[in-house]
Structure 1
Amino acid sequence: MATQGSPDPLARMDDTTKAVAALREVAAAEEPLDDVLTRVATAAAQAIPDAEAATITVLTSGEPRTVAIAEELILAIDNAQYAAGRGPSLRAATVRRSVRSTASGDGLRWPEFVAAARQAGIRACVSVPLLSASDTASPRRGEDRESLGALNVYSLSATAFDPLDEQLTWVFTTAASHALRETRRWQRARDQVANLRTALSTGADIEQARGALMAVHSCTADEAFVRLVEHSRHQNVMLHEIARRFLLFLQQQRSG
């Protein structure tokens, strides 16, 4: 939890700079994504004046979820927004701009958010989008950038989060967006390796099955391949699976 009130602007900027510098070391340590994002949210809550807690909303295939660990009452605020399909965190992620909301002023627009916020004693919230581009430390709109989610900072004070606080919150989204980008890049690389392994494995099975058919039926390579394709279509089974079953059958025949 950050200090109450708004200290000198230079001091606030200094606190943010130190916090982000520490996060750079965390990102370089290759920790699990959820752990890194939790550290980002914790650092934001500690550095931004009047912040009680912070969470991070991540969009996965368009579906929101909170990845940064938070108290149950704070987590309930995020979940209320997800269930209703509306609220400041989802709004920030959608319009790609920071959104400030208060429990006293948004009852008609986001009643689910306000009800959950009041139950937790939260009176103000600022949500800043996580954007895919490298220049996320800027409050400019980013229609050409993918929205990855939002950083949500909550306060017990209805007057919390002035324009400078919003600017500083954008800085923390840089660390969060970097962690998300690196994780996605690693996931794509892992998927490519897995697909390559599958392709090599299935290709080898098909070639072995074709060779076995050539020996059994004294046919050409093309004729053997046609036999495999016909069996695949007739049984509505993938070609590599037909090849694998045929090789297994031959192995069982030899064993018997």
Structure 2
Amino acid sequence: MADYAQSRSVRPVDGERPDPVERLDETTEALTQLHDAFTGEESLEDALQRVAETAARAVPDADAVTVSVVTDERPHTAAATDQRLVELDQKQYGSGRGPCLESALNLKPVRAVIGEHRDSWPEFEAAAENAGVRAYLSVPVVLPASDDSEARHIGTLNIYSYTAAAFDPFDEGLMRLFTTAASATITSAQRWQHSQGQVQQLERALGSRAVIDQAKGVLMAVHTCSADDAFALLVAESQRLNVKLRDVAAKLLESVTQPDEPA
């Protein structure tokens, strides 16, 4: 893997690292779980949480996984397998620097041992040391480029370990494989959530239309006027009160449907 973010110091060597074939099996099983759980009908929050939990099982020594979503407005942690380590993400957001932000900026994995970047990311390094974290691997989840769009960053998987020698280039390769599948899951959830939003907007619009039509009917009966004239009365009242047309119509219907109070 030629393009991962290399740390400046020599990483510790651990002869007890799991066999590459075993690690590949772990990731394959996690990918299978991610695929089997996919329904195509879940919120983005649920999809991100499932991605985080599955990623934690995909790499040996992954003690916690968070998912950072970096937008133009402000980055935030959208999912986590251990809420206690969300503070590590927040230290990066607050200072504007850290591995998850660098990974999002360069669209490349960032892997290092705690203590290797004290000068570059002092806030994150201090928080990680206090939490007992000894190594991390931040991997971007990217929607690949197509004929009509560039590659788009969706989020970043932040994998934390209490073992200094937890991650190596092979783990990075495995997580690249995992994030390819994760991007499809997240994108599908985004599309479903968007479609749900459109459905809700349509339902609200239809509901408003029904209320307005009923109010027009009431005004037509009371004033013996046309549908256009009744609508014009509603619009005039809406402008006079400076409230939404639907609210004017609803208030009118409420006034004519409430039972008369006893004298």
The 1:30–1:195 alpha-carbon spacing in structure 2 relative to 1, beyond 3 Å, is closer
- Cα pair 1:88 1:99 within 8 Å, conserved: yes
Rounded to whole Å, the distance in 2 between the matches of 1:37 and 1:15 is 15
Q: 1:158: how far off?
A: 4.6
Q: 1:177: how far off?
A: 2.6
Amino acid aligned to 1:41: A
The answer for the alignment partner of 1:248 in structure 2 is 254
Structure 1: 5+ residue runs without aligned partners? 136-142
- Cα pair 1:40 1:172 within 8 Å, conserved: no
The 1:34–1:8 alpha-carbon spacing in structure 2 relative to 1, beyond 3 Å, is closer
Rounded to whole Å, the distance in 2 between the matches of 1:223 and 1:4 is 85
The answer for the alignment partner of 2:180 in structure 1 is 174
Rounded to whole Å, the distance in 1 between the matches of 2:95 and 2:237 is 50
- Cα pair 1:64 1:149 within 8 Å, conserved: no
- Cα pair 1:97 1:128 within 8 Å, conserved: yes
Within the candidate set 52, 57, 77, 1:65 is matched to: 77
Rounded to whole Å, the distance in 1 between the matches of 2:16 and 2:41 is 35
Rounded to whole Å, the distance in 2 between the matches of 1:150 and 1:35 is 13
Structure 2: 5+ residue runs without aligned partners? 1-13
Counterparts of 1:108-147 in structure 2, within 5 Å, are 108-133=119-144, 144-147=150-153
Q: CA RMSD in A?
A: 3.0
Rounded to whole Å, the distance in 2 between the matches of 1:152 and 1:128 is 7
The answer for the alignment partner of 2:212 in structure 1 is 206
Counterparts of 1:155-174 in structure 2, within 5 Å, are 155-158=161-164, 160-174=166-180
- Cα pair 1:125 1:155 within 8 Å, conserved: yes
The 1:54–1:201 alpha-carbon spacing in structure 2 relative to 1, beyond 3 Å, is closer
Within the candidate set 50, 60, 65, 1:36 is matched to: 50
The answer for the alignment partner of 2:10 in structure 1 is none
- Is 1:82 equivalent to 2:88 in the alignment? no
- Cα pair 2:41 2:192 within 8 Å, conserved: no
Rounded to whole Å, the distance in 2 between the matches of 1:164 and 1:51 is 14
Please state whether the residue corresponding to 2:80 is helix, strand or coil: coil
Q: Please identify, of 111-120 and 83-92, the stretch whose mean Cα deviation from structure 2 is larger.
A: 83-92
Q: 1:101: how far off?
A: 3.5
- Cα pair 1:98 1:128 within 8 Å, conserved: yes
Q: 1:232: how far off?
A: 0.8
| Count of residue pairs brought into register by the alignment | 242
Q: 1:154: how far off?
A: 2.4
Rounded to whole Å, the distance in 1 between the matches of 2:63 and 2:223 is 76
Q: 1:34: how far off?
A: 5.4
TM-score (norm: length of structure 1): 0.80
